[in-house]
Amino acid sequence: MSLNLDDKKAVVAEVSAQVATAQTIVVAEYSGIEVGDLTVLRAKARESGVYLRVLKNTLARRAVADTSFAALADQLSGPLIYGISEDAVAAARVLNDFAKTNDKLVLKAGCYSGKLLDKASVQALASIPSKEVLLAQLLGVMQAPISGFARVIAAVAEQKGETAAA
């Protein structure tokens, strides 16, 4: 079923709005994936805050034109599913994780901060821990010296208490 001009404009406007706030776009070929599997992928994407959509490539090219994702336009051929996310790694992680369990989804390319990513780069991006995990690790590193210092002070106070009692 083809879209009329107004429908096409609406799709381009919707995707352009998503692209305007996005940090990452990942595209993958999806030929042969069963509807049930695609439903599972869409649910995972929704949970992760990833905008996931099958688009006509010409409409996607129009949506990314004159944006930092314009470099991706040359990669847009074939039956593609688009993952767009504000989180730098969410789209890559969702599509990469699904591709590990379903060989019919093949990562093709991506774009992050205006840089075109090949399949290996998308997989590398997907392996980066989430923002929350990185912040928790940073907090742990920052607290380590303080808690170590507090233990030393407690040990010295305990030692002085034993010396005073004797």
If one counts the domains in the chain, the total is 2
For residue 105, which phi and psi values (nearest 5 degrees)?
Answer: -95, 115
**Which residue range forms the structural domain that includes residue 160?**
130-166
Is 27:85 a contact under the CB 8 Å cutoff? no
- Condensed to tens digits (0 to 9), the pLDDT of residues 30-57 reads 888 899 999 999 999 999 899 999 989 8
Same domain, 13 and 87: yes
CA distances 43 to 37, 53, 98, 118, 155, Å, are 10, 12, 11, 25, 52
Same domain? For 98 and 135 the reply is no
CA distance 126 to 134: 14
Same domain for 115 and 152? no
pLDDT tens across 63-109, in order? 988 888 888 888 888 899 999 998 888 899 999 999 999 888 899 99
pTM: 0.75
